[in-house]
């Protein structure tokens, strides 16, 4: 689902929002098809929460439009939008029981009592909260609280569901489990969802498409795999996964334009760049071999540290005076003993996997 083949459910068109001269969201455009799950991913302060607040109606755009089902809702107050949000710390009402919390949105919508009870019971069952209906939020575990927050949001049958860092308060195992459960639930209910997170795993687990934000702008949108494999720029590359940023210089080598990293590593690079550059490459795209290849003029790198990540091994290397981190599948090397500390190995970068930025020669 890319949103092109179906009428858009939620559209952000050239949206801009500034606070006291500081531009939080800068001309963002995004379009979601019905049932699509999009994750907005970025570091804290990149404007992703503001974007969510614009959709929820807590903020009004200075410029541009927010449209829901073809209707511009810029000035519609939050309580008149059929948009439900799961807040970062869930924002459950402490004085209401689980059932009362879940019923809140239905009461505000003046749903009849019989229907309200049916729908609350349905949401309770769907989120496995049976037996906890009469508890107060303070009597629940973190995972249960999150379930209540999700139940409270989806029970109103929202046009758009918003998740604001909804998993950050959970510990790792619970987070993995809840992400998986929620992912299945969102598919089942086919609810249009916008997720805001700084957690790559959360975005990749839940989203059909991810939008990477940087300093108020959306720099790349696409399915997770595509964004991961073809990052638009070095920022996206560095943001997703573990990356090295290595200084290099552009040189001519055997008639080709190449980049030399450190003293001995030369990699082909045909795109325009001159002088001093940075080479951005993911740890998994750093290749290690015990014998030199064409890329190496001389001087092997030295192994500094090998850490096991389970299926992967993280190898920290010293290439001349640079530190390079490589992550290689455990199964790909038969003889790990040869990669002992101070062992000499040859480092290469997988062709086409790295992005070269011009470094300002200041």
Binder among 2, 130, 139, 177 for another protein (CB under 8 A): 139
- 169 Cβ partners below 8 Å, 6+ apart? 88, 89, 90, 142, 146
79 in contact with another protein (CB under 8 A) = yes
Could you tell me what percentage of the chain is helix, strand and coil, using 3-state DSSP and rounding each to the nearest 5? 30, 35, 35
Binder among 76, 117, 133, 136 for another protein (CB under 8 A): 136
113 in contact with another protein (CB under 8 A) = no
Nearer to another protein, 40 or 56 (CB): 56
Q: What binding mask, one character per residue, do residues 258-277 give for another protein by CB under 8 A, x or -?
A: --------------------
Question: For 131, left (φ over 0), alpha (ψ -120 to 50), or beta?
Answer: left
Residue 13 C-beta: closest distance to another protein, Å: 22
| Count of residues of this chain found to bind another protein when the rule CB under 8 A is applied | 24
Nearer to another protein, 139 or 141 (CB): 139
What's phi and psi for 146, nearest 5 deg?
A: -65, -40
- Residue 93 DSSP label: -
Strands 160-164, 83-86: parallel, antiparallel or unpaired by DSSP? parallel
CA Rg value for the chain:
25
Tell me how many helices (H) and strands (E) the chain has: 8, 20
Residue 97 C-beta: closest distance to another protein, Å: 9
Would you give the end-to-end CA distance of the chain in angstroms?
45
94 in contact with another protein (CB under 8 A) = yes
Binder among 7, 43, 58, 187 for another protein (CB under 8 A): 58
152 in contact with another protein (CB under 8 A) = yes
Residue 107 C-beta: closest distance to another protein, Å: 8
83 in contact with another protein (CB under 8 A) = yes
138 in contact with another protein (CB under 8 A) = yes
Binder among 75, 109, 128, 256 for another protein (CB under 8 A): 109
Binder among 148, 156, 182, 349 for another protein (CB under 8 A): 156
Instruction: Please report the DSSP string for 118-174 in residue order.
Output: HHHHHHHHHTT-TT-TT--GGGS-HHHHHHHHHHHHHTT--SEEEEESTTTTS-HHH
Residue 277 C-beta: closest distance to another protein, Å: 45
Stretch that binds another protein, among 82-90, 112-120, 239-247, 301-309 (CB under 8 A): 82-90
93 in contact with another protein (CB under 8 A) = yes
Cα gap 315→306, rounded to integer Å: 5
Residue 84 C-beta: closest distance to another protein, Å: 6
Nearer to another protein, 63 or 104 (CB): 104
89 in contact with another protein (CB under 8 A) = yes
8 A C-beta contact, residue 315 and residue 329: no
Nearer to another protein, 28 or 56 (CB): 56
Nearer to another protein, 170 or 237 (CB): 170
Residues in the chain: 362
**Which ranges of the chain would DSSP assign to H, the alpha helix?**
48-56, 98-108, 113-126, 142-154, 172-189, 200-206, 224-229, 234-239
Residue 10 C-beta: closest distance to another protein, Å: 15
Stretch that binds another protein, among 83-91, 178-186, 233-241, 298-306 (CB under 8 A): 83-91
Cα gap 202→195, rounded to integer Å: 9
**Which ranges of 190-293 would DSSP assign to H, the alpha helix?**
200-206, 224-229, 234-239
Measured CA distances, 225 to 2, 31, 230 (Å):
13, 19, 8
Interacting residues with another protein (CB under 8 A)? 56, 58, 77-80, 83-85, 87, 89, 91, 93-95, 104-105, 108-109, 136, 138-139, 152, 156
């Amino acid at each position: 689902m890319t949103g092109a083949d179906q009428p858009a459910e939620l559209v952000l068109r050239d949206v801009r929002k500034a606070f006291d001269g500081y531009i939080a969201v800068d001309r963002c455009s995004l379009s979601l098809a019905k049932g699509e799950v999009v994750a907005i991913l970025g570091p804290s302060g990149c404007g992703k929460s503001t974007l969510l607040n614009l959709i929820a109606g807590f903020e009004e755009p200075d410029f541009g439009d927010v449209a829901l089902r073809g209707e511009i809702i810029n000035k519609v107050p939050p309580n008149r939008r059929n948009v439900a949000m799961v807040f970062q710390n869930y924002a459950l009402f402490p004085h209401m029981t689980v059932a009362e919390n879940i019923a809140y949105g239905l009461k505000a919508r003046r749903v009849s009592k019989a229907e309200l009870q049916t729908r609350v019971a349905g949401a309770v069952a769907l989120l496995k909260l049976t037996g906890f209906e009469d508890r107060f939020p303070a009597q629940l575990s973190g995972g249960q609280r999150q379930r209540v927050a999700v139940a409270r949001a989806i029970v109103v049958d929202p046009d758009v569901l918003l998740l604001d860092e909804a998993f950050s308060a959970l510990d790792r195992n619970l987070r993995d489990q809840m992400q998986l459960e929620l992912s299945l639930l969102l598919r089942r209910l086919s609810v249009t969802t916008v997720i805001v997170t700084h957690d790559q795993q959360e975005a990749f687990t839940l989203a059909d498409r991810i939008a990477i934000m940087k300093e108020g702008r959306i720099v790349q949108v696409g399915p997770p795999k595509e964004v991961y494999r073809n990052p638009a720029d070095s920022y996206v590359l560095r943001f997703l996964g573990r990356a090295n940023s290595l200084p290099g210089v552009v040189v001519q080598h055997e008639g080709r334009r190449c980049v030399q990293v450190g003293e001995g590593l030369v990699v082909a690079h045909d795109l325009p760049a001159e002088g001093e550059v940075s080479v951005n490459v993911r740890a998994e795209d750093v290749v290690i071999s015990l014998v030199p290849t064409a890329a190496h003029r001389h001087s092997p790198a030295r192994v500094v540290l090998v850490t096991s990540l389970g299926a992967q091994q993280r190898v920290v290397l010293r290439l001349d005076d640079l530190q390079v981190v490589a992550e290689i599948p455990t199964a790909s090397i038969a003889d790990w003993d040869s990669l002992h500390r101070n062992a000499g190995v040859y480092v290469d970068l997988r062709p086409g996997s790295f992005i070269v930025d011009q470094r300002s020669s200041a």
